[in-house]
Structure 1
Amino acid sequence: MANDYDIVVIGGGPAGYAGAIRAAQLGKRVLCVERDKLGGICLNWGCIPTKALLSNAHLVELIKQHGKRYGYNDNGQGEWDFGQMIGRSRTVAGQLNKGIEGLFRKYKVASKFGVAKVVAPGKVQIGGETVTCDSIVVATGGRPRPLPGIEFDGKTVITSKEAMSLPAQPKSMLIIGGGPIGLEFGYFYNAIGTKTTVVEMLDRIAPGEDEEVSAALRKSLEARGLVIHTSSKTSKIEKTATGVKAEVETPSGKTTIEAEVLLVAIGVTGNVEDLFAPGVKVEIEKGHIKVDRANGFVTAVPGIFAVGDVIGPPWLAHVAHHEAVCCVERIAGHSKRTVDYAIIPGCTYTEPGVASVGLTEKAARAAGHEIRIGRFPFQFNGRALAAGETEGFVKLIFGAKYGELLGAHLIGVQATELISELVMAMKLEATEEEIIHAMHPHPTFSEAVMEAAGQATGESVHI
């Protein structure tokens, strides 16, 4: 007797819905099971609605800081509606959620809503129903990791989910974690007038980025009013009648910070609880499912696969998407598709934005590469000058012998858009010469990429 489905995908986020659609395109009978809303955390409570809020913050800053220069003057009468900002971001998420439902109908992907449990290889229980299949792809994602000693309550101690749907704008906010999530919310709330403090345990914010970029980002955010403590940690946190009070150990000594709201952004743990019956011996380590990434993301149990945030870092929606597509293509017999973890773009959507791919300068030197570096500031870019967005630079790292692009690091208003060109350049093994000779349209921000490559060889004509 044939199984109910060829593939059951558990989870409807960036990994789950992409994998389900691709499997259906390949002729597979697919069921996608989601316990909440299609699109998962990313579309409904993460990547997309946060960018709507950040667009609001950029508009606020643009008008407050540069309005007069652009010819706009409200004589101090303008007001911003926090509730409307939140409402717009929820509307954007809702539109995309409906879009996935339409794609499922188009490609004939079946979907069920409920909590799924793998009761045996090839058997998934959804509520009181059990379905059978040839392969199971687990894409249940992750959730914010709590700070030891103080649990989330959704009101005073919150995750990123609550941070984008607070009923009222807080007067003050303490953020633990200086990575992309902490910095993006720090930028947003600071821009709209909330007194915001970020505490990072490591010696710099955006610690995964090139050191030069991290330093430039900190300088910019602090100039905007954001308070940042690095090489710091909370030694004691307690709830108060008005919010929270935290004792923070900084390089200059202990300080006490009081805030209405505490946002914890220190990492992600996988959604693995009650996912597998006791007889299903999938290996779980430190809250994430162990898989063989090089061989199609198979777990320790044949026929059960896992992709996305549930298998651990990097916790990025675009990585989850590519892992899922690669996984189902392998299941369908297409063995060529792989995920190149050496060429993963990273983006932080503050203003200025930060984006990177490949090796940092420090990592390139540590790996033994002889390198050439090209930098080009946006202050010398005509399009940036016209837009009044001259902060930041493009930094490219090339191998000295062959001129191959080893890494790219950008900070500036268009950084998260420009990085795609450099991801493609690395994927195609482009050299500095090829980037210079690729004609970039004028006037555009992208000319800074060409000029940075030219700086590495002494060919840039605008600096």
Structure 2
Amino acid sequence: MKIAVIGSGPAGVSASLELAKNNKVVLVEKEERLGGTCVLYGCIPSKAMLHPIHLASELEKLGKNITFDLGELRKLGQDASYRLSKGVEYMLEDNGVEVIHGIASLRSGQLIVNNETIQVDYVVLATGTYREVVKGIIYSEDLPYLNKDFKSVIIVGGDVGGVEFGWMLRKLGKEVVLVDKQSSLLPYLDKEVSNAITNYFSKIGVRLYLNRSVKEMKEKEVILENGEKLTADVVYMTFGRKPSIQGFEEINHNPFVIVDEYLRTSLSNVFAAGDIIGTHTAHEAMYAGKIAATNIMGGKKVFNKQGIPKVVYTHPTIAYVGSMEGKCVKINLVELGRAITEKEIDGFLKLCIKDDKIVGAQAFMKDAEEVISLISFLIRYNIKVNEIKDYVAPHPSYIEALTELLNRL
């Protein structure tokens, strides 16, 4: 079979590599560089920039101070993005995937690339999301690339990007104002967790303007709906990405592409994966890409959303999984030996149990990513609480937050 994959982000690359094991694969990418939003603008450069600030935050707890400037962090972000993008290029080449740079579209079931029809048996749509750019407005994904320093910044949007960059810039010593229409940061989390994060941001000196709508944004000014004007050296916007459906409008969408449990779209030979179907994380996109590829090759594998973790890379780290219902219990880090030894006693883990199974957990703590990842595994494979109680965690460790909570049930 010959299969076209549209988009070289995590979903597209994952699908291409799986399909290339037994098929001829053509990957179409409109950008000059490969890797999609994650590698070029999002996950990779941002995490490279955040990493030194994590180290500085840990050392600060031990009474040592090291400093970085924005220029150093930008170089780390750009270098990581470039290296990963080249890695994607080499990996696809080594696996026999043909890469075409250009614009793809679907018209009457025919795939058009650079105004030429390409005959394929299947298509995997993995075009992700795009930003409607407004002149004069700077977006969070511009931060790794703009050679512009500043003392003060207004961040519009208390979503994941706003929280991560707001934290990082404040730790760099910038004056940070964060504006959001919600009444707390990350309000979709458990109220106790969301409030703790909001209070922490206030504690470190981020000026929060919550429950406020923005009327107008300018290069150095934000005007709120109530007429209040906020000024800073620079304004960044973190929200507003939309699914990249352009050229594929004949596929059912609202606004994301609608797929069945096997990731098949309204067209029988077109599958979709990644942010275009509303997954919003790179690891979900990779998983979806592999599921789509498996089913194109004759499989019947369901896209299982259960127990997929989410992480926000501040320090303490924010991580969560599942739903917070049933009986919920909490442990503060001050109760853990490992946290005391490392002076990382800020934060907590909250866990929810229903019908003898863990159904959800949220953590705002050191190593939250690892703790929630383990809990994600337990949720995804439906392991009962009574079975988990036999698990022995290393001591001292942050994973003991989980075992301690289970012992109290």
- Please tell me the TM-score bracket, short chain as reference: over 0.9
Matched, 1:220 2:200: yes
Structure 1 residue 254: Cα displacement: 5.7
- In structure 1, the partner of 2:134 is 152
> Of 235, 247, 259, which residue of structure 2 is paired with 1:292?
259
Which 5+ residue runs of structure 1 have no aligned equivalent? 365-370, 458-463
Structure 1 residue 198: Cα displacement: 1.2
Corresponding letter in the other structure for 2:41 = W
- In structure 1, the partner of 2:42 is 46
- In structure 2, the partner of 1:272 is 245
Q: Per-residue displacement from partner, 1:245-291 (whole Å, max 9, x unpaired)?
A: 22325xxx763211222222224201122x24xxx7323333x32x2
Larger Rg: 1
CA contact (8 A) 1:17 1:38 kept: no
- In structure 2, the partner of 1:138 is 125
Q: Per-residue displacement from partner, 1:98-130 (whole Å, max 9, x unpaired)?
A: 222232233222212222222442x43332543
Scaled by the length of structure 1, the TM-score of the pair is 0.83
State how 1:14-413 maps to structure 2 within 5 Å: 14-25=10-21, 27-36=22-31, 37-63=33-59, 65-68=60-63, 72=64, 80-121=68-109, 123-127=110-114, 129-144=116-131, 152-153=134-135, 156-237=136-217, 239=218, 243-249=219-225, 255-273=228-246, 275-276=247-248, 281-286=250-255, 288-289=256-257, 291-294=258-261, 296-311=262-277, 313-335=278-300, 337-360=301-324, 364=325, 371-399=326-354, 402-413=355-366
Mean Cα displacement is larger for which, 49-58 or 428-437? 428-437
Structure 1 residue 143: Cα displacement: 2.1
Q: Per-residue displacement from partner, 1:56-79 (whole Å, max 9, x unpaired)?
A: 22234344x4352xxx46xxxx65
Scaled by the length of structure 2, the TM-score of the pair is 0.93
Corresponding letter in the other structure for 2:260 = R
CA contact (8 A) 1:135 1:303 kept: yes
Q: Per-residue displacement from partner, 1:367-424 (whole Å, max 9, x unpaired)?
A: xxxx32221211222222222222111111001xx32111111111211222110111
- Rounded to whole Å, the distance in 2 between the matches of 1:21 and 1:192 is 39
Structure 1 pair 281–168 and aligned structure 2 pair: CA distance change class (3 A): closer
Task: Report the 3-state secondary structure (helix = DSSP H, G, I; strand = E; otherwise coil) of the residue aligned with 1:318.
Answer: helix
Which 5+ residue runs of structure 2 have no aligned equivalent? none
- In structure 2, the partner of 1:461 is none
How many pairs are equivalent? 408
Mean Cα displacement is larger for which, 420-429 or 80-89? 80-89
Corresponding letter in the other structure for 1:292 = V
Structure 1 residue 448: Cα displacement: 1.1
Corresponding letter in the other structure for 1:386 = T
State, as a whole percentage, how many aligned pairs show the same letter.
27
Corresponding letter in the other structure for 1:315 = H
- In structure 2, the partner of 1:437 is 390
Structure 1 pair 255–443 and aligned structure 2 pair: CA distance change class (3 A): same
- Rounded to whole Å, the distance in 1 between the matches of 2:259 and 2:57 is 46
- Rounded to whole Å, the distance in 2 between the matches of 1:327 and 1:415 is 30
- Rounded to whole Å, the distance in 1 between the matches of 2:39 and 2:144 is 13
CA contact (8 A) 2:220 2:232 kept: yes
Aligned CA-pair RMSD: 2.1
Corresponding letter in the other structure for 1:321 = M
Mean Cα displacement is larger for which, 48-57 or 6-15? 48-57
- Rounded to whole Å, the distance in 2 between the matches of 1:385 and 1:114 is 54
Matched, 1:421 2:374: yes
- Rounded to whole Å, the distance in 2 between the matches of 1:452 and 1:227 is 35
- Rounded to whole Å, the distance in 2 between the matches of 1:281 and 1:428 is 37
Task: Report the 3-state secondary structure (helix = DSSP H, G, I; strand = E; otherwise coil) of the residue aligned with 1:293.
Answer: coil
- Rounded to whole Å, the distance in 1 between the matches of 2:144 and 2:137 is 13
Matched, 1:446 2:399: yes
CA contact (8 A) 1:395 1:408 kept: yes
Task: Report the 3-state secondary structure (helix = DSSP H, G, I; strand = E; otherwise coil) of the residue aligned with 2:142.
Answer: helix
Corresponding letter in the other structure for 2:286 = H
Mean Cα displacement is larger for which, 54-63 or 28-37? 54-63
Q: Per-residue displacement from partner, 1:157-177 (whole Å, max 9, x unpaired)?
A: 212221222212222211121
